[in-house]
Amino acid sequence: MEKLIAIAIILILILIFTGRVNILIVAVSILIGATAVFMTLFFVVNFFVFLTFRPRKAKYLRIEGRFNDRWHNACYLVDGEEYLCIFPWEGIFIKQLYKENKECTVLFNKKMGRVYDKYAIVTTALGLVFSIGLDVGLVLLYLSV
């Protein structure tokens, strides 16, 4: 990864010093546009996935580490079994957001073995709205140039 970053920096410097800044601007705008489109696709897929989930009563248990403790997910008890939230937990306001043994309603899918808690639903909804707004803004920006 470090080699790719070093190569990218060298290429950027070569383009700047040779006066080819227009190529750099086009490349960066393509990268930003592709990122925005992939972000929108991610949230659209998540939106349709959580439409297949059904509401269930659950009890929040704890935050559990996964993937070599890089990602942490909220763990809920649904129908006597533990299930992890589909999105990683929020890294701030932990004590205010997650209260142990608190009853709540989650969206649950037994086949996937995951839940959407209210914070994952808000994340998906806001991410979808903002990513669509970003796409529309970028299209308007590209059309005006």
Asked if 63 and 116 sit in the same domain, the reply is yes
Cβ 108 vs Cβ 55: under 8 Å: yes
pLDDT tens column, 98-137: 777 778 888 888 888 888 888 888 888 999 999 999 889 8
Asked whether residue 70 falls in the same domain as residue 116, the answer is yes
Residues 44 and 58 in one domain: no
Question: Which residues does residue 130 pair with via DSSP β-bridges, in sequence order?
Answer: none
Residues 107 and 62 in one domain: yes
Asked if residue 2 has pLDDT above 80, the reply is no
What is the number of structural domains in the chain? 2
- Given a cut of 80, whether residue 47 has pLDDT beyond it is yes
Same domain, 73 and 105: yes
Three-state secondary structure of 54-85: EEEEEEEEEEEEECCCCEEEEEEEECCEEEEE
Which pLDDT belongs to residue 33? 86
pTM: 0.72
State the first-to-last Cα distance of the chain, in angstroms, to the nearest integer.
Answer: 34
At 96 the pLDDT is 63
In which domain, by residue range, is 18 found?
2-49+125-144
Asked if 123 and 74 count as a contact pair (C-beta separation under 8 A), the reply is: no
pLDDT at 69 > cutoff 90: no
In the predicted structure, residue 31 carries a pLDDT above the cut 80: yes
pLDDT of residue 110: 81
Share of the chain above pLDDT 70, in %: 88
Residue 39, helix vs strand vs coil: helix
Q: What is the pLDDT of residues 79-104, one digit of tens each?
A: 888 888 877 766 666 666 677 777 88
> What does the alpha-carbon distance between residue 71 and residue 49 come to, in Å, rounded to a whole number?
21
Q: Give the H or E element holding residue 27.
A: helix 21-50
CA nearest to 108, candidates 98, 95, 121: 121
Q: Is the pLDDT of residue 78 over 70?
A: yes
Do the strands 81-85 and 54-66 form a parallel or antiparallel pair, or are they unpaired?
A: unpaired
Segment 64-90 mean pLDDT: 76
List the one residue out of 75, 45, 44 whose CA is nearest residue 59. Answer: 75
